[in-house]
Amino acid sequence: MSVSLETLPFIDLYLRLDGQEPPVFRSNERGKGIHNQLVPEEFLPTVEQFSTAIRAELQDRTDGTLTLDGLRVRLSKQQMADGSLWACARRINTDLPNLFNLGFATHISTHMHSLGEREGLIIVSGSAGHGKTTTAAALLIDFMQTHGGTAITIEDPVEYVLKGRHGAFGQCFQIEPEGNNDWAPTLERALRWGPRYIFVGEVRTPQAAEQLIHAATTGHTVITTLHGGMPEEALTSLLFLAEQAMGAGAGNILAGCLTALLHQTMKEDGPFVKYLFTEENAPGDPIRSLIRENKIGMLSTYIDRISARLANQQAPIPAYGQTGSGGSHGGSVGGMPPLPPLPPIRK
């Protein structure tokens, strides 16, 4: 009796298309995302059928998508240095994440939820396989369910199927750029749709970084994922790309539009986060000042301070289905008092 490939807990499945090397996969189970494992023997007949379907789907192409027995994957084919031909199948998720079920402490989830009321740039950073896209998708879904409006995602590949309705007043459209040079024009065209929310997976070019920052300064809430071993590394990499397209003034613009940076590391017992956020309508916010002064390395000083502030603020879990104007709430969220301002760092 064959075993459904859908029950194999993989994120990425690696298969040789022209030989008999054992297939391996990267697991989506908590704490195992960085490990490659051999496909269990009972799945091998199903994987062989899957390989045949991949060969038929790709033929002369190197990339594509495939749906088989209810499982949807993004495909990438590559010839290796030794001449062997391999394919990577990345699972496209259909089970949508819920922000309050991701394992974050309640005060962190609640503050993340409140960011849907603000405009500007939200960065979700971390190493590969540590759940950046899952967190970003959960944020976007939460914002649409709570506040409504149009959302556009720009990813290659699409990792969660978010298209369609969310809540009573939310609508999501999803776009896959056709190459690195298509990211910036795609983002520019997306702005003409009047989106309230934009999600951009992995900024890859200076021009895309410029368009991303432009969107975050023109009345949109923009979410993006960035690779980085530390929060400062992710912010530095974005600024490096932006400066190539925008010049030395990119730091001033990024400082003005940054709303939050969430750095995520997946542990055995759930996600561990380092969190930075700026004060709303506060150009003199100390975090913004450090970015303007190109002292991003000093931002780590604020991480513990912000964690303590959030932990000391009691916050109820919000109910979905409510809509909001998205305007300023005087710094309060859900009837809670505003957080006290951060003190400046002595230089």
- Position with higher pLDDT, 59 vs 154: 154
Rounded to whole angstroms, the Cα distance separating 327 from 314 reads 22
Query: Which of 91, 122, 154 is the last residue before a domain boundary?
Result: 91
Look at 59-63, 273-277, 310-314, 325-329 and tell me which has the smallest mean pLDDT.
325-329
Q: Which 3-state string (H, E, C) describes 188-212?
A: HHHHCCCCCEEEEECCCCHHHHHHH
Which residues is 90 bridged to in the sheet?
12, 74
Provide the domain count of the chain: 2
User: Do 11 and 52 belong together in one domain?
Assistant: yes
Say which CATH number the domain at 138 has. Answer: 3.40.50.300
State the burial class of residue 262 (Cβ atoms within 10 Å of its Cβ: 0-12, 13-18, 19+): buried
Per-residue pLDDT at 181 = 87
Q: In the chain, what is the greatest distance between 2 CA atoms, to the nearest angstrom?
A: 68
In a domain, 81, yes or no: yes
**What digits encode the pLDDT tens for the residues 295-328?**
888 887 777 777 667 766 655 545 444 333 333 3
Q: What percent of the chain has pLDDT over 70?
A: 86
User: Do 232 and 267 belong together in one domain?
Assistant: yes
Total Cβ atoms within 10 A of residue 50: 23
Per-residue pLDDT at 347 = 42
Confidence (pTM):
0.80
User: Do 78 and 214 belong together in one domain?
Assistant: no
Assign residue 335 a region (left: φ > 0; alpha: ψ between -120 and 50; beta: otherwise). left
Q: What is the average pLDDT value for the chain, to the nearest integer?
A: 85
State residue 141 phi and psi, 5-degree precision. Answer: -60, -45
Per-residue pLDDT at 231 = 86
**What digits encode the pLDDT tens for the residues 223-263?**
999 988 888 899 999 999 999 999 989 999 999 999 999 99
User: Do 176 and 212 belong together in one domain?
Assistant: yes
- The set of long-range contacts for 164-168, using a CB threshold of 8 Å and a minimum separation of 24, is 166/141, 167/320, 167/321, 168/321, 168/323
Residues 78 and 86 sit within 8 Å (Cβ to Cβ): yes
Q: Please say if the pLDDT value at position 149 is more than 50.
A: yes
Rounded to whole angstroms, the Cα distance separating 70 from 155 reads 22
In a domain, 344, yes or no: no
Per-residue pLDDT at 174 = 96
User: Do 163 and 287 belong together in one domain?
Assistant: yes
Per-residue pLDDT at 1 = 55
Rounded to whole angstroms, the Cα distance separating 324 from 142 reads 13
Its domain, for residue 287, covers 99-312
Per-residue pLDDT at 11 = 86
Q: Please say if the pLDDT value at position 130 is more than 70.
A: yes
Q: CA torsion, points 101, 103, 107, 111, in degrees to nearest 10?
A: -60
User: Do 157 and 279 belong together in one domain?
Assistant: yes
**What digits encode the pLDDT tens for the residues 81-101?**
999 999 999 888 778 999 999
The residue to which tokens 């199948």 are assigned = 89
User: Do 206 and 281 belong together in one domain?
Assistant: yes
Say which CATH number the domain at 69 has. Answer: 3.30.450
pLDDT band at 188 (very low <50, low <70, confident <90, very high): very high
User: Do 83 and 168 belong together in one domain?
Assistant: no
User: Do 173 and 128 belong together in one domain?
Assistant: yes
Q: CA torsion, points 174, 180, 181, 183, in degrees to nearest 10?
A: 30
Summarize the confidence of residues 144-171 as an average pLDDT.
Answer: 93
Summarize the confidence of residues 136-147 as an average pLDDT.
Answer: 96
Q: CA torsion, points 14, 17, 23, 29, in degrees to nearest 10?
A: 30
C-alpha 347 chain-centroid distance:
34
DSSP string, 234-266: HHHHHHHHHHHHH-TTHHHHHHHHEEEEEEEEE
In a domain, 343, yes or no: no
In a domain, 321, yes or no: no
Look at 66-70, 204-208, 213-217, 310-314 and tell me which has the smallest mean pLDDT.
310-314
User: Do 144 and 290 belong together in one domain?
Assistant: yes
